[in-house]
Amino acid sequence: MVELLLPKQVTRVRFPSPAPITESPTMDDPHTLLTKDQLAAAGLPGFAYGYQDKVRFYELDALNHVNNTVFLKWFETIRVDYALARGLTTYSHADDDPQLVVRHLSADFLAPMYQNEIYTLAARTRSIKASSLIMDYAVASGGQIKGTGDCVIISLEQDGKTRRPHFPDAVRAMVDLDGAELTG
């Protein structure tokens, strides 16, 4: 029980103790990657890279559901993690490291999401060209896909203009782990 002392009119007000905090993903914790089987069980078959998180209060809009722009932020967060994990870049800005530039990004919002809702976010590469690739994203909760997206990423030299081929090991990882198709 928590007690709060107030001015003269009311001497004491009792509030019930707060509920215990249960274990759930937090943004401050590093994300634990899920297996392909876990992603499929969450409603995201065909994805090999993803993790769980939960909706935060600050991600809600005036309608009390996740704001559409938040999906794009989630996609950006997983895209950066994914690019590092697949070896596309180190984001070091060194001369031998490519700049990954998003040329196109789209999202489809399929169902509302609410505060504290646990969701699974996944990313994969669908197709790869010499210096570009197309990624897919999906968000699922309760076995239902709540949103999807895709983006076109261009790999550039540090001058920000010259196209640059992907690292061969990164291409191999995207083909082997994600089933990405080599095109062009």
Residue 20: pLDDT band with limits 50, 70, 90: very low
What CA–CA distance (Å, rounded) separates 179 from 57? Answer: 36
Report the percentage of the chain scoring pLDDT > 90.
81
148 touches 137 (CB < 8 A): yes
Rounded mean pLDDT, 153-161 = 95
Rounded mean pLDDT, 80-88 = 96
109 touches 68 (CB < 8 A): yes
In the CATH hierarchy, which fold is given to the domain comprising 35-182?
A: Thiol Ester Dehydrase; Chain A (3.10.129)
Name the residue among 141, 99, 96, 98 with its Cα closest to residue 121: 141
Q: Any alpha helices (H) in the chain, and if so which ranges?
A: 36-41, 68-86, 168-178
pLDDT averaged over every residue in the chain: 88
